[in-house]
Structure 1
Amino acid sequence: MTIPYATRMSGVRPSAIRELLRLGADPEIVSFGGGYPDPALFPMTELSEVFQKLLTGAHTDALQYTESRGLPRLREHIARRLTRDGIPCGADDVLVVQGGQQGMDLVGKLVLNVGDTVVTENPTFLGALISFAPYEPRYAPVRIDEDGMDMDHLEENLARNPGTKLLYTVPDFQNPTGVTLALERRHRLIELANQHNLLVLEDTPYRSLRYEGEHVPTLKSLDTEGRVVHLGSFSKILAPGMRLGWAVAAPDVLEKLGLLKLAADTQCSTLNMAATSAYLDSYDIDAHIADACAAYKHKRDLTLKTLSEALPPSVRFTRPQGGLFTWLTFPTGFDAATFMRDTLLPLAKVAYVPGATFFPGTQEPNHARLSFSGVADEPLVRGLGRLGELLRQELGG
């Protein structure tokens, strides 16, 4: 039988990294691949108590349908947290989504026609590229440095691509590089968005995981014309299996996103929304986040120290102030995917994410993403040490 698939499926392909990461399924592998939070930090006792209370006859509503926008009490909690972060809003300004990933999909569905141009960082979050792919856009990637997206390059790209509809950015501890967009660049980004009639999609799953440096305002808090759709998530600060995030946008935009959400899945899990709301009622999530930040800071510091000692001088890496990632840059001509497949996995049982597929345009194979969040100290030091040994054999130094 031949299925007449829609043309949009031509852009929906398996990720090039999936097969490589499948090779790392061996439990002996030290994997720096997944951007997962550390499961040891999940508040298991508190969530267990919450779910046990909800799964009683007194709370049958926790298993019932509810508002497509999300449980009102949960939206109130989210709105209060966002207001404290400089985004004044109420429950009616919040749409609960299935993690930030669904927010990206809904925004792509909202604005993108075939061939429309999307601006992203270069490199950018692979999940965003996967999310936008069914809508068949073109990309105008913008180079980044230690201060995030280069605004001069953004301005050049917008001039070369009139009619660009959407700008996607991870401004805080970016996935995959770990860099943070500087404040002055945030102001200029908003100015350029106003000038070029852009919708800005601000993705902030790592925002609460800052370990050092000054707090930087969100793009949404600087938004002067209602152009920013702000996405956030409980995945990195509570538990990713809850599959809960949020979108905040101008009323007309949020209304249309809500209609698309209704068409996609009716609503998020009532039980998971009720459990998250009850957790926020009863427990101090800020104290939980502070504990997580202390643990991740230790892992980040140990990672950077070990890389400094182990890597040859020809390999550079970013020094993030928060988040879960650092980004390796190897000499030009080095293929990180080939090295991992042929050398690193078989000889050292170590895995990372090869960086080429994070680039929406011309792929650059001489990069890799390392996630330090889910690796214990001993295997972290051992794995990065073996990585350094093999790279010195390969590259010298």
Structure 2
Amino acid sequence: MVKFSDFAQTLQSSDIAALLKLTEQPEVISFAGGLPAPELFPIEEMKKVDVAILEKEGRQAVQYGTTEGYVPLREEIAKRMKQAFFVDCKAENIVVTTGSQQALFILSQILVNKDDTVLMESPSYMGAIMAFDPVCPKYTEVPTDDKGMIPEELEKILASDAKVKMIYVIPDFQNPTGITWPMERRKAFMDIINKYDVVVVEDDPYGELRYDGEKLPSLKSMDTQGKVVFLGSFSKIFMPGLRLGWTVANPEIIDKFVKFKQAVDLGTSTFGQRQAAYFINMFDLDAHVTKIKALYAKRRTLMYESMQKYFPEGITFTYPEGGLFTWVTLPAYMDAKEMMPKVIAKQVAYVPGGIFYPNGGNANHFRLNYSNMPEDRIVEGIQRLGEVLKEELR
């Protein structure tokens, strides 16, 4: 018998995972995943990109690369950080990662010890919870409203817990709620952070996907003490299968980050990094992002209007200004996880909300994704979901 580590013995398949497996069937209208629209993947352009890479760089393009990442791509990321997130940085401040998920794992490993405290929004991204779990932290959920973390509550926690090592936040179009922190909330948050010895991980995979209103400065752009680590991603603005993310941080964190990443994978795909860099130089990534935004904005509005039409009274939901998700709140007595088999019987799927809370509870929520399904299936799926909700309401 294999003797697994203590942590490995805690790993179990969840009943939710078993239910979500059913959503892979083509007849299921799935609002469960955070999947981009595949019809927007630039396949024809990528054929030309691949040929250009191999003609120009040949075998060097598939050789090992540095752990930090392909320099031309890091230079393009530095330009994008300035343009899209208002952050002045250089290539040496950037590490290319195998998706943002890898960065979350590495940051928890280099910043957090067992039983240290990690602060998160309530709710927060379940993938971050999964990435942090191996270090066995204590999670404290900071009370959160429709504008993000409540500053007064955050300060109370920081003042009372000396073991807080890391704060994880998604200020733009948060996963799972879709909410965005307004400017005054960002300023208040940074004013508090500047008083404490703590690292902030700002995860921003959706920041360029704004459909309404004006782009707000990232927390990293307001960081005067090097406390904010910024995570960006090509998954939502380009192609998720390339698994390309990036981390921007101060030199001290970058040094430890790179050393740990060397142990994890030596380096992110050298060819994949070139694919992104060449695409940026050969084609117009901004025009591609504009196309994505137009489609997702249409689907966001259609889902919202469909929920208004088909959901019964007593059910509330967010209207995100961007990103991929809306958050549905049921009456307190209802359990979205218990309701899920009835929804899947109607060949519709969502993600029940309890798994987005690191300390559990809050079963009366679920997350819906609107980016992946075509318009007719969004309307049909929301109508079917509305039928189940009407049956379940007392």
Tell whether the structures are fold-level matches, with TM greater than 0.5.
Answer: yes
Distance 1:99 1:34 in 2: 16
Partner of 2:38: 39
1:10-49: CA deviation from partner (whole Å, max 9, x where unpaired): 5544455211201223211100000010001111111121
Distance 2:274 2:284 in 1: 16
Partner of 1:27: 26
1:176-217: CA deviation from partner (whole Å, max 9, x where unpaired): 000011211111222222212110000000000000012111
Distance 2:88 2:10 in 1: 38
Distance 1:137 1:255 in 2: 23
Secondary structure at 1:368's aligned position in 2? Answer: strand
Distance 1:332 1:284 in 2: 47
Contact 1:12 1:130 in 2 (8 A): no
Return the TM-score normalized by structure 1.
0.96
Partner of 2:5: 6
Partner of 1:378: 376
Partner of 1:130: 130
- 1:328 paired to 2:333: no
Q: Equivalent residues in 2 for 1:68-107 (5 A)?
A: 68-84=67-83, 85-107=85-107
Distance 1:200 1:8 in 2: 25
Alignment-mate amino acid for residue 327 of structure 1: W
Secondary structure at 1:235's aligned position in 2? Answer: coil
Partner of 1:52: 51
- 1:230 paired to 2:230: yes
Secondary structure at 1:231's aligned position in 2? Answer: strand
Secondary structure at 2:164's aligned position in 1? Answer: coil
Secondary structure at 1:133's aligned position in 2? Answer: helix
RMSD: 1.3
Contact 1:12 1:134 in 2 (8 A): no
Partner of 1:390: 388
Partner of 1:286: 286
Distance 1:226 1:318 in 2: 33
How big is the shift at 1:121?
0.5
1:134-182: CA deviation from partner (whole Å, max 9, x where unpaired): 0000011012222111112212222332230000011100000000112
Partner of 1:108: 108
How big is the shift at 1:392?
1.2
Q: Equivalent residues in 2 for 1:219-368 (5 A)?
A: 219-341=219-341, 343-346=342-345, 348-368=346-366
Distance 1:18 1:362 in 2: 16
Contact 1:11 1:136 in 2 (8 A): no
Distance 1:16 1:79 in 2: 42
User: Structure 2 vs 1, CA of residues 311 and 66 (structure 1 numbering), >3 Å: closer, same or farther?
Assistant: same
Distance 2:214 2:79 in 1: 22
1:273-318: CA deviation from partner (whole Å, max 9, x where unpaired): 1111110111110010001000000000000000011111111101
Alignment-mate amino acid for residue 244 of structure 2: L
Distance 1:229 1:183 in 2: 19
Alignment-mate amino acid for residue 48 of structure 2: E
Alignment-mate amino acid for residue 359 of structure 2: G
Secondary structure at 1:7's aligned position in 2? Answer: coil
**Structure 2 unmatched runs, 5+:** none
Distance 1:58 1:387 in 2: 52
Per mean C-alpha deviation after superposition, the further-off stretch among 81-90 and 271-280 is: 81-90
Distance 2:207 2:282 in 1: 23
Alignment-mate amino acid for residue 159 of structure 1: A
Distance 2:203 2:386 in 1: 33
1:255-279: CA deviation from partner (whole Å, max 9, x where unpaired): 1111111111000111101111110
Distance 2:26 2:52 in 1: 36
How big is the shift at 1:56?
4.4
Contact 1:32 1:351 in 2 (8 A): yes
Identical aligned residues as a percent: 40
Secondary structure at 1:140's aligned position in 2? Answer: strand
User: Structure 2 vs 1, CA of residues 13 and 161 (structure 1 numbering), >3 Å: closer, same or farther?
Assistant: farther
User: Structure 2 vs 1, CA of residues 279 and 373 (structure 1 numbering), >3 Å: closer, same or farther?
Assistant: same
Per mean C-alpha deviation after superposition, the further-off stretch among 170-179 and 359-368 is: 359-368
Secondary structure at 1:17's aligned position in 2? Answer: helix
How big is the shift at 1:55?
3.3
Alignment-mate amino acid for residue 387 of structure 1: L
Distance 2:57 2:160 in 1: 60
Distance 2:212 2:12 in 1: 38
Alignment-mate amino acid for residue 23 of structure 1: L
**Structure 1 unmatched runs, 5+:** none
> Where do 4+ consecutive residues of structure 1 move more than 4 Å?
none
Distance 1:147 1:11 in 2: 35
User: Structure 2 vs 1, CA of residues 281 and 23 (structure 1 numbering), >3 Å: closer, same or farther?
Assistant: same
Distance 2:157 2:22 in 1: 38
Return the TM-score normalized by structure 2.
0.97
1:96-117: CA deviation from partner (whole Å, max 9, x where unpaired): 0011101101100111111000
How big is the shift at 1:355?
0.7
Partner of 2:205: 205
Contact 1:50 1:275 in 2 (8 A): yes
User: Structure 2 vs 1, CA of residues 100 and 219 (structure 1 numbering), >3 Å: closer, same or farther?
Assistant: same
